Structure 1
Amino acid sequence: MNRSVTFQVQKLFLITLVLKVGSSFLGWLFQLQWSLGFAVPLAIMMTYILTGYFHRAPGVSDEKFADSCYYLGFIFTITSIIFSLFDLPNIGTKIQEIAVRFGAAMVSTVLGLGVRVYLVSFKKDIGDAIRDAEDAVLDTTRKFTEQLAIVLEKLGHFESQVDEQGNCTVLS
């Protein structure tokens, strides 16, 4: 990863959260669900994911960053649901706006969860590393045992040749 410019993930998270919630609020206030309620918050989240992935401070592990992406998506889901609840009394006339907010909420959650699964679930954990080490030790032990058997066989053959040559020398 290119870390020439790094960001503190905690501050980046807070800025992203404020921007996403602010955008959702403005989308609800001005009835601009597709732009301020859907596209802008998801663009903000994608910016957070890409910036954090490529430019986060070295002390932040993949697990911590992945969790922050998941939580950001989940918090946005809750925020979208809250703004949808404000329009619940007018559900008959505002069902499309409510549906857009729920759609944005679900996409945001799936995006955050997808990042978490990608960064954490496919990474080797301590159990995987121990199993790999055990397998390597067993494989090396087996190879070592085979090599010892070959060496022992050659040593026996060499001993036979020495005895044979010794007998020939004594008899001559």
Structure 2
Amino acid sequence: MALRTAFHRDLSARDHLDKVALVLAFLLGSAGSWTLKFLGFGPFWAMGCAVGAMLAYVAAVTALGRLQIEPEAIGDNCYYLGFLLTLSSLSATLYQLTQSAEQTELMRSVVAGFGIALVSTILGILLRVIFIQLRPDIVARDRETRIELQQAARELRVELALSIATMKTFSTEAIQLASEQGVKISEATALTVDTLRERMTADAEAHEAMLRTTLEQTSARTVAAISTHVTRAGSAAEDSIRASLTSLSRSIAAYADANAAAFRVREEDDARAEALADAALRRTRGLTVEIEALSARVTDALGGIRAGLESTVETMERAGSALADAQRVAVAGATGVPPAPVTGVPGRDLREKAEPVHGDGGGAIWFPFRRR
């Protein structure tokens, strides 16, 4: 509310400033004309004072920001100011007429005063006409503005059409460039993928060969170690069995020799000799049965060793095959190349080279290598 009151007060003060300027111009012009006339200056001095006051007022209300008003109001004020200054000059002349005694000189001065006084009126009317002409014609300005707006709208339509055509051309070029770039990128990507695939395939083949070589070497070493251990165990068992059989044979031979000596010593006693012979025969038969049972057990033990060796070899073959298959599948999954067929299984040749070893008790025992 206080701001609104201050604003209205400021507007009122500005409205009164041009009136104050008009009054001051009238007072200065009138006082100057009266003073110059009574001091004996010529009529042109009074005219110059009135014209100067009017021009000073016009300059003040035109140039000063706080005194600026509309051109129409300036013209009206100049017209009225000139008319008032004319009346003031005429009143001064008439006052001199009442104070003068010489008729001839008086008439000349009165006519000159009236002529000089009309100058301010003429100047006021001229200024009024000028400022009225300077007033803008609203209708003409509106018509000109409409014409300018229509012309600007037409130019805007033309510019928009040109812009749309340019945008269409640019979009077409952009689409073509994007398609060309897409083709180039696809070709470069395909070339890169092919190169990488070839490199990965070569690396996978190299790794597969290395793994196959390592697996074959490992399988061969493992089978060789197992075969060596089994051969040594079989040889030791065979030597032990042969030593036992030899010792048993020697014992039997010694026993038979002893019995023969006893038979020769005691030939005279037939009954006793027959008894001893029967006992020796029975004992010999029992020993023969024991030897056959021992041979059967040795044969069974060697058969178990052979079965264990065959199971171990088959297990190694299956493990090698499974490991090779897993490696090929992994390499194929990584590179997208179908796995190559395996021409041989590590460790299978060792079984094919195995030869049977025959024991003394009958039956064949298979060993991976021929014992020398």
Q: Taking structure 1 as the reference length, what is the TM-score of the superposition? A: 0.62
* Aligned residue number for residue 118 of structure 1: 130
Contact 2:82 2:121 in 1 (8 A): yes
Q: Displacement of 1:137 after TM fit?
A: 8.5
* Aligned residue number for residue 161 of structure 1: none
* Aligned residue number for residue 76 of structure 1: 85
The amino acid of 2:64's aligned partner reads H
Alpha-carbon distance between aligned partners in 1 of 2:56 and 2:103, rounded to the nearest angstrom: 32
Q: Displacement of 1:76 after TM fit?
A: 0.9
* Matched residue SS, 2:80: helix
Q: Which has the higher contact order (CA 8 A, sep 6+)?
A: 1
Q: Displacement of 1:33 after TM fit?
A: 3.6
Q: Displacement of 1:27 after TM fit?
A: 2.8
* Aligned residue number for residue 65 of structure 1: 74
1:75-94 paired onto structure 2 within 5 Å: 75-86=84-95, 87=97, 91-94=103-106
* Aligned residue number for residue 107 of structure 2: 95
The amino acid of 1:53's aligned partner reads T
1:8-47 paired onto structure 2 within 5 Å: 8-34=17-43, 36-47=45-56
Map Cα deviations across residues 36-56 of structure 1 (whole Å, 9 max, x no partner): 522222222222222222225
Map Cα deviations across residues 1-40 of structure 1 (whole Å, 9 max, x no partner): xxxxx99322211111111111222233233243652222
Task: Tell me: CA distance 1:17–1:58, structure 2 relative to 1, closer, same or farther (3 Å).
Answer: closer
Alpha-carbon distance between aligned partners in 2 of 1:52 and 1:91, rounded to the nearest angstrom: 43
1:49 corresponds to which of 44, 50, 58: 58
Does residue 106 of the first structure (1) align with residue 115 of the second (2)?
A: no
Task: Tell me: CA distance 1:62–1:112, structure 2 relative to 1, closer, same or farther (3 Å).
Answer: same
Alpha-carbon distance between aligned partners in 2 of 1:78 and 1:130, rounded to the nearest angstrom: 41
Most deviating of 74-83 and 89-98? 89-98
Alpha-carbon distance between aligned partners in 1 of 2:103 and 2:151, rounded to the nearest angstrom: 66
Structure 1: gaps (5+ residues): 1-5, 148-172
Highest Rg: 1 or 2?
2
* Matched residue SS, 1:8: helix
Alpha-carbon distance between aligned partners in 1 of 2:65 and 2:80, rounded to the nearest angstrom: 17
Q: Displacement of 1:138 after TM fit?
A: 9.0
* Aligned residue number for residue 164 of structure 1: none
Q: Displacement of 1:106 after TM fit?
A: 2.0
Alpha-carbon distance between aligned partners in 2 of 1:138 and 1:47, rounded to the nearest angstrom: 43
Q: Taking structure 2 as the reference length, what is the TM-score of the superposition? A: 0.32
Task: Tell me: CA distance 1:73–1:17, structure 2 relative to 1, closer, same or farther (3 Å).
Answer: same
Task: Tell me: CA distance 1:45–1:123, structure 2 relative to 1, closer, same or farther (3 Å).
Answer: closer
* Aligned residue number for residue 171 of structure 2: none
Contact 2:47 2:119 in 1 (8 A): no
Most deviating of 90-99 and 104-113? 90-99
Alpha-carbon distance between aligned partners in 1 of 2:116 and 2:133, rounded to the nearest angstrom: 25
Task: Tell me: CA distance 1:103–1:57, structure 2 relative to 1, closer, same or farther (3 Å).
Answer: farther
Contact 1:66 1:120 in 2 (8 A): yes
Q: Displacement of 1:92 after TM fit?
A: 2.1
* Matched residue SS, 1:63: helix
Task: Tell me: CA distance 1:133–1:35, structure 2 relative to 1, closer, same or farther (3 Å).
Answer: closer
* Matched residue SS, 2:136: coil
Task: Tell me: CA distance 1:104–1:54, structure 2 relative to 1, closer, same or farther (3 Å).
Answer: farther
The amino acid of 1:125's aligned partner reads D
Alpha-carbon distance between aligned partners in 2 of 1:93 and 1:109, rounded to the nearest angstrom: 25
Task: Tell me: CA distance 1:36–1:26, structure 2 relative to 1, closer, same or farther (3 Å).
Answer: farther
